[in-house]
Structures are given as structure tokens and as C-alpha cells.
Chains A and B, each alone.
Chain A
């Protein structure tokens, strides 16, 4: 049945195109101004947009500071001192903290706080780009109540165009796209009840972004 359906559909499609002068592809679109910033303006745009979409944004002096930062931050937020972390962050000195307990791997519904690392970002809309894989499981992005994402400023593109190029490079290098690419702009929300916006629907209620100046561990593998 499926094979004949395929033939039938292709026949119909070809017939529908008969005798038509076919329209050319218009090529790559020029990104809008807001998606073409560079330098400090680009970073500022990212922070401004992410904040407008209800993410909180902070800076880490270096990735090595993450464990200590988290200890303090979790305490201040009245959150449990237990986090599930992405493998890409496993190499950091988590023993030093004496208070944050970590588990590495995919997230479960028992996890309140998850920490992962972005592969890229689009300043235009304050969006981070997460990829699935050994280093950054997808469930960290959706299951925990609180999601913390570390992002290197060096990985922030002006707009999605840069992100698409990153994915092409990834595909060329590894032979395949990541199973999943998640573009994330703020915490989850819905407006299904009386068109009233509510933050925190099924995904994380909170998104906390941590910016670092240095290159991410991704760069070593790129």
C-alpha cells in the first residue's frame, strides 16, 4: 500500500506541474538589521532580547566558576542543592563546592534543576541553540523545572543564519545532523486560557542564562 501510494503521489505531483513555467528559488534572504549586528552591539542585543522574553541573564568570569556560582545562586533562589548536568560540564571541579550534588546525564521528572551548554545562539531574538548528543542530552532542556544554560559569547551569531551554518559544519564533520536542535527563547509559556499569557507551561518554568567570555568546550571538537 505504501509503495503504491508513493507512486501515486509522485504521479499527481508531476502532473500538476506539467506545462507550468517553474519559478526560480529567490536565494538566501538578507537578514534584517536586527539580525546583522556585530561586536558589543550583538551581545547587548542578545542579552536585551533574552531578558525581554523572561529569561534571566548573568555572566560567569569563567566556566571554571560554574560550580561555585551555582552553589550561591541555588541558595539565593531557595532551590535544592542538587542539579543534573550535561556531560560537557562534567570535567569541572564539582567536588570543590562541598554543597551542590550533581548527577550527569539525561534529566528525569525528579530533577528540579538542570544545567547544560548551548551550541550556538541568535542575538536577533535572544535565542539559544541546543543540540542533542553525548555531551548535551535534550531532556535537560525540557524536563527540569529550572533550566540553566551556559553560553559562550563567542558562540553568539547575529541571527539564525550563523546557527544554520554551524549546523552545516556539524553535519559535514560528523556525517549527520544532531538528532534534535532546540532553539530556546525564554521559559515555557502558554496563552491557551483566555489568551492570557502564563509563564511555565509544560517545559521549564525558569530559564537562567550564564554568559562566559572564553570559548566553549565545543570548540575543541569542532
Chain B
């Protein structure tokens, strides 16, 4: 998928003026934040499970080759196939080749962020195969020609009226007077539209929340049932998964499953958690005839050896998005790529290149809420700061910032000069501010003063007062 992260500032400016987006984001955060809190409070062993999950992940990241090889052996033993793709072009081509191999013309799709990353739909479409998204949120944004704005609730940026509007335009064959004013009616409409499509599909493409080495199984964690319909009713099931989804055993999956739904939506368990282990067996009455797992690297192995390694622990729960005040203010599209919110601020530059996503690691106040709610305790502020360090080293930062920090540190490293300069400057500013006590604007502070007054300094600096008070006391 093409990135628009370079247009971050313009996107943010537009997002902040968008009242409908604001309303939608408010609905998301006010629903999901208390739900997560309640679910976590309801599991006294939550922190221990986090520790255990982190240990499993760190061990697995140290043994990726072993576990991926074991996974492959087991998929093959189950009658399935594994395809290795070093980059996104290879992955797209592999999937297209599989479609051709199986004479695939119609495709249904479950929600998969890695396929968004690959720009898979547009690519397959250009070759005459348009996958039909079946997850409700993905279905809606596909109709609108948009990209997902949240990793588990792709249409979260939309209000009901906007969705109804989209359905009115796209489902022109339905009765124009039908009820469309509730979430229920819209969900029902999508259900009916998609019902027959699953069985008619030549291939069903899904992602994977986890891949289990022990059994050669891929796991999807869902609530709607479309992912299961997609993979069960189509003739061919294609799973697309990035390398770091691999975990050693089924019991390990149990640990992550206890953390995932709670962190995401506040459920103890999602409605459907499905292990897929190959094509239909002899005697089965349903199921796909062929099972293909497309393993995608596309930058993960590079992260493994680098300073962003800890980001590979991510289990894509979206807790960081749901709790981030920046994400709540600007929505997901402003980040310019598939992955938004705090995890997107690290993953997007890591996978697409820091030069394409200069603003992302910087547009954070480092409040730390993301790290606090992350089930894998990923140190997101630290990882963002690491990227800022990289930007400084690579001279990607603005000359203005470089000069200001240089001047500041030169001053701060000479305390006597520092006291003199700051004492004098603050006195001047205090005088300029006069009775008002604030500045409505000052040079270099336009970013602040657009929405806030700038309080005036008391003037003179601390030591002037301190020395004076000591003289008084003596």
C-alpha cells in the first residue's frame, strides 16, 4: 500500500477540523477504554500472563528459523503448502500465481492488515481478480475506496450516517425506503449482501493472528464469522501472514489468547478463535481443497537484527491506538499507512523507511499510556525516541531544530552564562508582557500560540530571587 505519511501535517490539519471524525473517535475511545480496564481488572493474573507472553515472544524471536521450519514441516504433513516471500512484490506475485494455478476468478477476504500492507486488492484487481472484503468494517471501506483507519475496527473513523450513505449508493438494488438508521439494520444489510458470496468464491484469503509451529496451524481471532465462512466455503484457502506471527505451541497460543481479546475489546475471549491445519481430509464433508500459507518477510527480519526488535512482540491488539490521545485527536488515516497509532509510529517507519515517515516518531508527547496498556509491554516511547536518534544521526531533522538544540545545550553547559542570558531575557519578556501576563504570540512559537496564550515569565530567573532572599536572611 502506498504511504502518505509524508503528508502527515496536512492530514492532521484536515483531521483536526473534521467534526464527524471527532465524534467517531470519541465513540471508539469511550467504548473501548473502560471495557479493557474492566476486563483486565477481572483477571487477577493478567500481569503474570503478560510476563509469560513476553518471555515466549522473546524466546521465539531468538529462534525464528527453528520454529518457522517446524511450522512448514507440519503444514506440509497436513497436506498444505508454504510459500516464502522476502518482500512485498514477491508476496503479491506469489498470491497471484496461486490464483492462476487454481483458476481463481472470485475471491472473498477476511480482515488482514498484512494484505493491506501489500496493497493486495489493488494488485489482484489490476489482474482481473477483485477480492471482496467480508469483514463489516473492511467491506464498508472497500465500498468507499478508503484504507483502514484502525487495525481491528477498520471503519472506526465513520459515523453511522456516513455508512448508511455508502450503502445507499452501493446497494442501489435495495428498497430506497428501507430502515438504515441503526447499527443493527446496517449490519443486517451487509450480512444479506454477502451471504451467498462465500460459497461462490474460488478462493478465500485470510490473515493469521498466530501461527503454531507445533501443529502447522494458523489462527484467526474474530467475532463476525466472516473469516470462517471465507476459509471454509471457498475451494482454496490462502493464508497470508508475516513471519513474526509464529509461536511455538498451542499452550503458548493460550497465553496470548488470554491477553489479546481483553486488550483489544475487553472480551475475555473473542466469539470465534479458529485453528486451520491444512486442506479438507478424506471423508470431510466441507472445507477447502487446498491450503496455502504465504509467509511474508517484508522488513521483519531486518527489524529482528536492529534496535526495533521489541516491536516484533506486537500481537496487534490495538490497545495502544485506543488509549493514545494523539490517535484520538487525529484518527488513523493521518498516519498515512496501514499501521497507525503508537504501534504505527514505530512500525511504519521501520517497514517503509524513516525517510518516508519523518513525522511519525516525532508526533508524540511521550505520555507513555501506550506502553502502560500494551499486553507485551513494548516500550513504545523508547522505540520512538530511538527513531528520533536515528533521524538526528542521519541529519533528517530540521536545521532549525539542530540550531536551537545546539544553542540551548551550549548555553546549558555553561551555567554562569546560562544564568546571565536567561535572567536578562526573561526580564525583557516579563516587561513586554505587561499587565496581561500572557503573550498572544511570539516569534518561533506559532505552533503554541495558535490555540493557547503563552504565559509570561516572572522575570529575572530563580537565582536572582534566591540570592536576594539569602541576603535578606543574613
Contact = CB atoms under 8 A, between A and B. Distances in A.
Interface of A: 1-2, 5-6, 8-10, 12-17, 20, 22-26, 28-30, 32-34, 49, 53, 87, 105-106, 108-109, 124-127, 132-134, 137-139, 141-143, 159-161, 164, 167-168, 171, 176-196, 198, 200-204
Which has the most chain B C-beta neighbours within 10 Å: A5, A22, A177?
A: A177
A10 B301 CA distance: 9
Contacts of B187: 190, 192-193, 198, 200-201
B62 A20 contact: yes
B55 A9 contact: no
A8 B302 CA distance: 12
Interface in B255-292: 255, 257-258, 265, 267-281, 283-287
Given A17-B65, A109-B196, 20 more contacts: A2-B83, A9-B243, A12-B301, A12-B302, A28-B251, A32-B43, A33-B44, A137-B286, A142-B228, A171-B215, A177-B78, A177-B217, A179-B277, A179-B280, A179-B281, A190-B223, A192-B154, A198-B183, A198-B184, A200-B187
Contact of B251 (A164, A188, A193, A203): A164
A122 to B, nearest CB: 8
Contact of B44 (A15, A32, A190): A32
A138 B232 contact: yes
A13 B156 contact: no
Nearest to A195: B31
B268 to A, nearest CB: 5
B147 interface: no
Nearest to B278: A179
B287 A132 contact: yes
B301 A142 contact: no
A96 B27 CA distance: 53
Given A20-B62, A26-B59, A138-B287, A190 B301 contact: no
Interface string B65-82: 100110000000110000
A191 B154 CA distance: 11
A153 B135 CA distance: 34
14 contacts: A13-B301, A13-B304, A25-B248, A26-B56, A33-B44, A138-B287, A139-B286, A142-B229, A161-B251, A179-B279, A188-B225, A190-B223, A202-B136, A203-B228
A167 B274 CA distance: 13
B7 to A, nearest CB: 27
A5 B85 contact: yes
B163 A193 contact: yes
B28 interface: yes
Given A137-B285, A171-B215, A13 B274 contact: no
Interface stretch (B86-94, B119-127, B414-422, B442-450): B86-94
Interface string B22-42: 001001101110000000000
A203 B56 CA distance: 33
B49 A201 contact: no
B183 A203 contact: no
Interface of B: 24, 27-28, 30-32, 43-45, 48-49, 52, 55-56, 58-59, 62-65, 68-69, 77-78, 83-86, 90, 93-94, 134-137, 140, 153-156, 159-160, 163, 183-184, 186-188, 190-191, 194-196, 199, 215-217, 223-226, 228-229, 231-233, 243, 248-251, 254-255, 257-258, 265, 267-281, 283-287, 295, 297, 301-302, 304-305
A5 B84 contact: yes
Given A33-B44, A177-B275, A202-B225, A195 B77 contact: no
A25 to B, nearest CB: 5
Contact of B286 (A2, A10, A138): A138
Nearest to B187: A198
B183 A193 contact: yes
Tell me if A's interface is mostly helix, strand, loop or mixed: loop
Contacts of B84: 2, 5-6, 9
Contacts of B184: 198
Nearest to A143: B229
B59 A25 contact: yes
A83 to B, nearest CB: 16
B232 A139 contact: yes
B251 A133 contact: no
A218 B125 CA distance: 45
B297 A29 contact: no
Contacts of B163: 193
A150 to B, nearest CB: 18
Contact of B49 (A32, A179, A180, A189): A32
A32 B47 CA distance: 11
Contact of B271 (A15, A24, A105, A189): A189
Contacts of B278: 176-177, 179
Shortest beta-carbon contacts, A-B, top 5:
A203-B225, A16-B305, A12-B301, A195-B31, A201-B224
A195 B266 CA distance: 12
Contact of B77 (A87, A176, A191): A176
Nearest to B23: A194
Given A139-B286, A160-B254, A182 B59 contact: no
A188 B136 CA distance: 12
Contact of A12 (B31, B228, B297): B297
A64 B376 CA distance: 48
A13 B49 CA distance: 27
Nearest to B199: A109
Given A29-B52, A106-B285, A194-B27, A161 B199 contact: no
Nearest to B191: A202
Contacts of B43: 32, 34
Contacts of A26: 52, 55-56, 59
